Amino acid sequence: MIRLGLFDYGAGNLHSLRKGLEAGGARVTVTSDWQEALGQDGLVLPGVGSFGSAVRGLGGERERVRDALEEGLPCLGICLGMQLLFPASEEAPGNGIGFLPGEVRRLRARIVPQMGWNDVEGGADPILRGVGDFPAYYANSFICEVDEVEASAVIATSRYDDDEFAAGVRKGRTLGFQFHPEKSSSAGLRILANFVEEVAG
């Protein structure tokens, strides 16, 4: 059985994400210890808390985590977890993992945060197999802008007001989604199952 390390920044409820990954066939260990998290078959960075709290959760292990991703450890970042893959955020000072080049900025919209369902335009990436375009659940005030040098990393997009942004990214075996798959009905659960299957492959 595939073993996933679900990192706990110390904020929020990880129950639904854990259940979604387990439904996809994984054995999930919730941990705040990076050695334990990076010792699994794959790493999951959840979407709870703020960028500042997540940076504190890195606890000086930023380079170690980035090295593991560069060496091919499968990783799934969700909402805040996706933002943590970037170098920095407008939300709070501190350095993210810096695995993807770009910036995390505030949504340019009349009402922030974005709370609720929004359409996702997917592409041909294997992680989206079986879902196509679909509605997903969002809870975010900030989004990721990928540098042009890595523009091909964007695998799905959404629009909120007039602001179009990356709903999903991939670099190697590292994936990120701005929405919450664990709260996005059957399409989201299929994405989690696809991730487990990819780790197994």
In sign, the C-alpha dihedral spanning 13, 196, 24, 116 is: positive
Q: Is residue 148 flagged as an active site residue?
A: no
Parent domain of 180: 2-200
Cα–Cα dist 135/189, whole Å: 12
Which of 75, 79, 91, 144 does the annotation list as catalytic?
A: 79
Which of 75, 91, 144, 182 does the annotation list as catalytic?
A: 182
Averaged pLDDT of the chain: 96
Which CATH number characterizes residue 188's domain?
3.40.50.880
Which pLDDT belongs to residue 88?
97
Lowest mean pLDDT among 3-17, 18-32, 84-98: 3-17
- Residue 48 pLDDT grade (very low, low, confident, very high; cuts 50, 70, 90): confident
Q: Is residue 182 flagged as an active site residue?
A: yes
- The rounded percent of the chain whose pLDDT value lies above 90 is 94
* Structural domains of the chain, count: 1
196 DSSP assignment: H
Q: pLDDT tens digit string along 122-173?
A: 989 999 999 989 999 999 999 999 999 899 999 999 999 999 999 999 999 9
Q: pLDDT tens digit string along 84-137?
A: 999 999 999 999 999 999 999 999 999 999 999 999 999 899 999 999 899 999
The tokens for 110 are: 């009349």
Which residue bears the tokens 């993992």? 97
Q: Is residue 144 flagged as an active site residue?
A: no
Which pLDDT belongs to residue 49?
86
Query: What does pTM read for this prediction?
Result: 0.97
123 alpha carbon, distance to own chain's centre: 17
Which of 75, 91, 144, 180 does the annotation list as catalytic?
A: 180
